[in-house]
Amino acid sequence: MFEMREGYRVVAIKRANGRFTKCVLDKHDKIVEKKCTGCLEIKGLERFNKNSANKFDGRIQKCKKCDAEYSIKYHVENKERNRKYDAKKREQLAEHRRKYDEEKRKRLAKWDRYG
- SS3 category, 76: helix
Instruction: Name the burial class of residue 24, with classes exposed (0-12), middle (13-18) and buried (19+) by CB atoms within 10 angstroms of its CB.
Output: buried
Chosen residue from 22, 25, 38, 45 binding Zn ion by CB under 5 A: 38
CB of 80 to Zn ion, least distance (A): 26
CB neighbour list of residue 58: distance below 8 Å, 6 or more residues apart: 50, 51, 52
Size of interface with Zn ion, in residues (CB under 5 A): 5
Q: Is there binding between residue 24 and Zn ion (CB under 5 A)?
A: no
Residue 15 or 107 with smaller CB distance to Zn ion: 15
Q: Is there binding between residue 36 and Zn ion (CB under 5 A)?
A: yes
CB of 43 to Zn ion, least distance (A): 7
Q: Is there binding between residue 63 and Zn ion (CB under 5 A)?
A: yes
Report the alpha-carbon distance of residue 102 to residue 58 in Å, rounded: 54
